Structure 1
Amino acid sequence: MSSSFKALGRLLRYARGYRRTISGAIACSVINKLFDIAPELLIGVAIDVVVNQETSFVAQLGFESPRSQIMMLGILTFVIWAGESLFEYLYQLMWRGLSQRLQSDLRQDVYQHVQQLDMSFFESRPSGQLVATLNDDVNQLERFLDGGANAIVQVLVTVLAIGTVFFVLSPLIALLAFVPVPLIIAGAFYFQRKASPLYADVREKVGVLSGRLANNIAGIATIKSFTAEAREAARVRADSEAYVEANRRAIRMSSAFIPVIRMGILTGFLATFLVGGLQALSGELNVGAYGVLVFLTQRLLWPMTGLANVVDLFERAMASTRRLFNLLDTPCQTQDQGTQTLSAPVRGEVILSDVHFRYSRTHGGIKGVSLTIPAGQMVALVGTTGAGKSTLIKLLLRFLQPQKGALYLDGVPIDQLSLHELRRHLALVSQDVYLFEGRIRDNIAYGRPEASDEEIIRAARQAEAWDFINALPEGLDTLIGERGARLSGGQRQRLSLARALLKDAPVLILDEATSAVDNETEAAIQRSLAHIAHGRTVIVIAHRLSTIVNADNIVVLEHGEIVEQGDHQALLALNGRYASQWRVQTGHASDVSGV
Structure 2
Amino acid sequence: MTQHTISKTTSSFAALGRLLRYARGYRRQIIAAATCSVINKLFDIAPEILIGIAIDVVVNQEESFVASLGFESAREQILILAVLTFFIWAGESLFEYLYQILWRNLAQRLQSDLRQDAYEHAQKLDMSFFEARSSGQLVATMNDDVNQLERFLDGGANAMIQVLVTVVAVGAVFFVLSPVIALLAFTPIPLIIWGAFYFQRKAGPLYADVREKVGDLSSRLSNNLGGIATIKSFTAEQREAERLKASSEAYVEANRKAIRISSAFIPVIRMAILAGFLATFIVGGMQALSGALNVGAYGVLVFLTQRLLWPLTGLAEVIDLFERAMASTRRILDLLAEPVQVRDDPGNHLPGPVRGEVTFDGVSFRYPASGAGIDGISLAVPAGNTLALVGATGSGKSTLIKLLLRFYDPDAGRILIDGQPIHEVSLRSLREAIGLVSQDVYLFDGTIRENLAYGRPAASDQQIIDAARTAEAWSFIEALPQGLDTQVGERGVRLSGGQRQRLSLARALLKDPPILVLDEATSAVDNETEAAIQRSLRRIGHNRTVIMIAHRLSTIVDADTIAVIENGKVVQQGSHEQLLERDGPYAAQWRVQTGQAW
| TM-score bucket (shorter structure) | over 0.9
Report if the CA contact (8 A) 1:339-1:416 is conserved: no
* Partner of residue 126 from structure 1, selected from 106, 118, 134: 134
Q: SS at the partner of 2:456?
A: coil
Q: Distance in 1 between matches of 2:35 and 2:597?
A: 84
Matches within 5 A, 1:365-380: 365-380=373-388
- What TM-score do you get using the length of structure 2 for normalisation? 0.97
Query: CA separation in 1, counterparts of 2:350 and 2:289?
Result: 94
Q: Which runs of 5+ in 2 are unaligned?
A: 1-8
Name 1:550's counterpart in structure 2. Answer: 558
For the Cα contact (< 8 Å) 2:126–2:341, is it kept in 1? yes
Q: Distance in 2 between matches of 1:533 and 1:93?
A: 60
Percent identity between the two aligned chains: 74
1:203 aligns with one of 198, 204, 211? 211
Query: Distance in 1 between the 2:453 and 2:423 partners?
Result: 28
Partner in structure 2 of residue 515 of structure 1: 523
Deviation at 1:225, TM superposition (A): 0.7
Matches within 5 A, 1:93-108: 93-108=101-116
| Alpha-carbon distance in structure 1 between the residues aligned to 2:305 and 2:45 | 11
| Aligned twin of 1:358 | 366
Letter in 2 for 1:477: D
Query: Do the aligned residues in 2 keep the contact of 1:357 with 1:404 (CA within 8 Å)?
Result: yes
Q: Distance in 2 between matches of 1:314 and 1:551?
A: 62
Deviation for aligned residue 1:344: 2.5
Partner amino acid, structure 2, of 1:159 = V
Cα deviation, residue 62, structure 1: 2.4
Alignment of 1:19-38 (within 5 A): 19-38=27-46
Partners of 1:341 and 1:224 in 2: how far apart?
49
Whether 1:306 aligns to 2:314 is yes
Q: Please tell me the residue identity of whatever aligns with 1:369.
A: I
Aligned residue number for residue 225 of structure 1? 233
Kept in 2: contact 1:338–1:415 (CA 8 A): no
Task: Tell me which residue corresponds to 1:51.
Answer: 59
Code of the aligned partner of 2:311: P
**Residue 451 of structure 2: aligned partner:** 443
The aligned counterpart of 2:3 is none
1:407 aligns with 2:415: yes
Q: Distance in 2 between matches of 1:68 and 1:476?
A: 82
1:112-147 deviation per Cα after TM superposition (whole angstroms, max 9, x unaligned)? 111011111111111100000111111111111111
Query: Of residues 261, 266, 284 in structure 1, which corresponds to 2:269?
Result: 261
**What amino acid does structure 2 have at the position aligned with 1:581?**
Q
Q: 8 Å contact 2:350–2:426 — kept in the other structure? A: no
Which whole-Å CA distance do the structure 2 matches of 1:165 and 1:80 have between them?
Answer: 17
Asked whether 1:16 is paired with 2:24, we answer: yes
Give yes or no for contact 1:177–1:271 (8 Å, CA) kept in 2.
yes
Report the 3-state secondary structure (helix = DSSP H, G, I; strand = E; otherwise coil) of the residue aligned with 1:401. Answer: coil
Q: 2:537 aligns with which of 512, 529, 539?
A: 529
Classify the secondary structure of the residue corresponding to 1:407.
strand
Contact 2:346 2:428 in 1 (8 A): no
Deviation sequence 1:313-344 (CA, Å, 0-9, x none): 11111111111111111111111137543332
1:277-297 deviation per Cα after TM superposition (whole angstroms, max 9, x unaligned): 111111111111111111100
1:474-528 deviations in Å (ceiling 9; x for gaps): 2211111111111111111111111100111100000011111122211111111
Distance in 1 (CA, whole Å) between partners of 2:272 and 2:590 is 85
| Deviations, residues 184-235 of structure 1 (Å, cap 9, x unaligned) | 0111111111111111111111111111111111111111111111111111
Q: Structure 1 residues 2 and 180, CA, compared in 2 at 3 Å: closer, same or farther?
A: farther
**1:373-419 Cα deviation digits (max 9, x unpaired):** 01001111111101110000001001111111111000001111111
In structure 2, the partner of 1:593 is none
The match for 2:493 is 485
Residue 113 of structure 1 aligns with which residue?
Answer: 121
Q: Tell me the TM-score normalized by structure 1.
A: 0.98
Equivalent residues, number: 590
Give 2:4's aligned residue.
none
Opposite residue 551 of structure 1, the aligned amino acid is A
Letter of the structure 2 residue corresponding to residue 112 of structure 1: E
Superposition pairs for residues 374-393 of structure 1, below 5 Å?
374-393=382-401
In structure 2, C-alpha distance between the alignment counterparts of 1:342 and 1:317, rounded to whole Å: 44
Matches within 5 A, 1:165-204: 165-204=173-212
Distance in 1, Cα, partners of 2:370 & 2:33: 53
Residue segments in structure 1 that go unaligned for 5+ positions in a row: 591-595
Distance 2:512 2:593 in 1: 33
Deviation at 1:2, TM superposition (A): 5.8
Deviation at 1:362, TM superposition (A): 2.1
Q: Which one-letter code corresponds to 2:231 in the other structure?
A: I
Mark the CA change 1:339 to 1:411 in structure 2 (over 3 Å): closer, same or farther.
farther
> Any conservation in 2 of the 1:107–1:138 contact (CA below 8 Å)?
yes
- Assess if the C-alpha contact under 8 Å between 1:380 and 1:541 holds in 2: yes
Does 1:155 pair with 2:144?
no
The answer on whether the counterparts of 1:340 and 1:416 sit within 8 Å (CA) in structure 2 is yes
Q: Is 2:124–2:340's contact at 8 Å kept on the other side of the alignment?
A: yes
Letter in 2 for 1:196: G
- Superposed counterparts of 1:227-242, under 5 Å: 227-242=235-250
Alpha-carbon RMSD across the aligned residues, in angstroms, is: 1.2
| Structure 1 ranges of 4+ moved more than 4 A | none
AA partner of residue 356 (structure 1): S
Matches within 5 A, 1:65-76: 65-76=73-84
Q: How do residues 446-595 of structure 1 correspond to structure 2 at under 5 angstroms?
A: 446-590=454-598
- For residue 109 of structure 1, report the CA deviation from its aligned partner: 1.0
Q: Please give the alpha-carbon distance, in whole angstroms, between the structure 2 residues aligned to 1:47 and 1:441.
A: 78
- What amino acid does structure 2 have at the position aligned with 1:77? T
Say whether the 8 Å CA contact 1:338–1:416 is kept in structure 2.
no
Aligned to 1:67, the other structure's residue is in SS state helix
Q: Which moved more, 1:329-338 or 1:150-159?
A: 329-338
